[in-house]
Amino acid sequence: MGIAKRTGSWLVDRVGLDRIYAVLAKHKVPAGATDRKKGWMYVFGAATLVAFLLQVVTGIVLATYYVPAPAEAYDSLIFINERVRFGAVIRGLHFFGASAMVVLVTVHMLQVFLSAAYKFPREVNWLSGVALLLLTMAMAFTGQLLRWDANGVWGVFVASHYAGRVPGIGEALKEFILSGQTVGGATLSRFFGLHVILMPLMIFGIVGLHLYLVFRNGISEPPEPGRKVEPSSYRSWYRSLLERSGRPYFPDAVWREAVAGAVVVGAVVVLAITLGPRGPGAPPDPTFIPAEPKPDWFLLWYYGLIAIKPPELETFVMVYLPLIGIAMLLLLPLLFGKGERSPSRRPWAVVGAVLIVTLFAVLTELGARSPWVMDFETEPLGAAEIGPASAQVIDGAQLFHERGCQYCHTVAGRGGQYGPSLDRVMGRLPPSIVTTRIVQGYGNMPGYRATLTREELSTILIFLHHLEER
C-alpha cells in the first residue's frame, strides 16, 4: 500500500470520514426535489450559502489590509483599490457578493413562503432563516458603514438617530452604536468588530443549526393542492414517501446546488470585474456639509418609505413597523403551521407575497429617484433659455434661483422635482393664490414671508407669468 493510500485510510479511520460519507450518501430527498423542473426551486438556500462563503474569503482578504481607525480607514480603502494586487476586484467581489446574498436570501425566503415549506415540522428551519435574513441585512448595512467615506459616516449618524427613537432604551442603544455620544475614534472599531467577528460567528452558528434542521427534518416535498400537512401523521407519511421514492441527496440533488453556486460566483466575478469596486466616495468628515447620505440599493425602499410617511407616524414607521414586520415573520410558522401548502390553495399568501414584492419595487424606485431631494446644483435660467424678455423677467429668473425656488420646482426643464413644475402655474391658479402660497407656504412649501421683499415677490410673479405666456 502506498504512503498516500495508508495516510488516507488512517484519516478515514481516525476521523470517521466513512461514517460522515455514509450519512450524507444515505440521506434521501423526495423525488420531486430532483425533478427536472421543480428541482431548480430547491437551489436558493445552497446558492445563498455559497455567496456567504464567498463573502467570508473576500472579507478575510480585506480584513488583512483594512485599517479600522477613522483617521486611516479611508486611505486604506484607496490603498486596496489602487495598490493591492487584485485589490479592486476583491472589493468588487465583496460588494456584489453582499448584494447577491441579499437577493438570494430574499428569493429563498419567498420560495419557502410560497411553497409553505415552513409548516410542520420545519418551523424552526424558518425561524432560524428569519434570524439569518436579519443578520444578512445587518451585515450589508454595517458593511456599507465600513466603507468609511462621507456616506459611511453619515450612515452611522442616521443609524444612531433610528436607534435613539426606540422608547426607553433609545439613548443606551444610540451610545452603543456610536460607542460614545457622537461619531468619534471608537465608533469605527465597534462596527469593525460587529461586522468582522460577532455577526459572522452568529451567522456560522445559525447556518449550522439551519443545515442540521434541513437534514433532520428532511427537505420538504413539492406541494400539491389538497395534500394537507397534518402534524400527527406527517412524519410517518414523509418517512414512507422517502422509502418509496426518495432519491439520494448525493449526487441526485446536490449537482443542481453546485451548478447554482457556480453561476452565483461567476455572476459576482463578472460584475466585480466589469463594474469594479464601490467607492469610497467623498472623504469621511463630519464637518463636510455637502454630503448627500443615501443607503445602498437594498435599503432604498426604507429610505423612500421614511421620506413619504406623514410626520405624525415618525416613531411608528421608524421603530414599530420594523418590529411588527419581524414579529409577523416569526409568528408565521407558529400560527399557520399546518394545512394546505400549495400556493393555489393559499390565495392570500400569494396576494401578500405579490403585494410585498410590488411595494418593495415601488419604494426602491422611489428611493432611487428621490424626487424630494432638492437640486442644489441647478443653474439659473439665462436669456438663452428664456428667450427674448424684459429685464424684469431675467431678474425674476435670477431671483427664482437665488431664493431657492428652483431647488424644488422645475422651470423650462431645469430644477428640482420636490414641488410641481411651475411652467404653467399662472394658467393653473389665479395670481392671488400663487402669491398666498409663496408668502404663507403650502403643504411642503415653506412660507417666504420673511425672506422676500414685496418687489422681489412681484418680480418672481412677472417671471412666472412670462413662463406661462411663452
Residues at the site binding another protein, with contacts judged by CB under 8 A: 69-72, 153-154, 157-158, 160-162, 164-165, 170-172, 174-176, 178-188, 283-294, 303, 306-307, 309-311, 314-315, 318, 372-374, 376, 401-405, 407, 418, 441, 443-447, 450-451
**Three-class secondary structure of residue 456 per DSSP:** helix
Task: Give CA torsion, residues 24, 28, 34, 40, to 10 deg.
Answer: -60
Closer to another protein by Cβ: residue 118 or 192: 192
Residue with smaller CB distance to another protein, 290 or 413? 290
Nearer to another protein, 167 or 388 (CB): 167
Could you count the other beta carbons within 10 Å of the beta carbon of residue 162?
A: 17
* 180 Rama sector, left if φ>0, alpha if ψ -120 to 50, beta otherwise: left
> Which residues are CB-contacts of 470 (< 8 A; sequence separation ≥ 6)?
387
Task: Specify whether the CB–CB gap between 448 and 419 falls below 8 A.
Answer: no
In angstroms, what is the minimal distance from the CB of 337 to another protein?
26
Q: How far is the CB of 285 from another protein (least distance, A)?
A: 4
Sheet strands (E) in 188-256:
247-248
3-state DSSP assignment of residue 309? coil
**Minimum gap (Å) between residue 423 Cβ and another protein:** 21
Instruction: Give the bridge partners for 248, in sequence order.
Output: 28
CA distance readout (Å), 120 to 220, 231, 235: 10, 6, 9
Alpha helices by DSSP H, listed for 66-147, are 73-82, 87-114, 123-146
Of 214 and 425, the one with the shorter C-beta distance to another protein is 425
Beta carbon nearer to another protein, 40 or 376: 376
C-alpha cell at 95: 460588494
In the bound complex, what is the minimum distance in angstroms from residue 227's beta carbon to another protein?
Answer: 33
Minimal distance, residue 148 CB to another protein, in Å: 9
Which CB sits closer to another protein, 342 or 370? 370
C-beta closer to another protein: residue 290 or 430: 290
Cis peptide bond prior to 280, omega within 30° of 0: yes
Q: Residue 11 Cβ, how far from another protein at the closest point, in Å?
A: 23
- Count other C-beta atoms under 10 Å from residue 406's C-beta: 23
Separation of alpha carbons 367 and 359, rounded Å? 12
Q: Rounded to the nearest whole angstrom, what is the least distance from the CB of residue 247 to another protein in the complex?
A: 31
Pick between residue 310 and residue 347 the one whose CB is nearest to another protein. Answer: 310
Query: In the bound complex, what is the minimum distance in angstroms from residue 390's beta carbon to another protein?
Result: 22
Residue with cell 403650502: 442
Strand partners, 247: 29
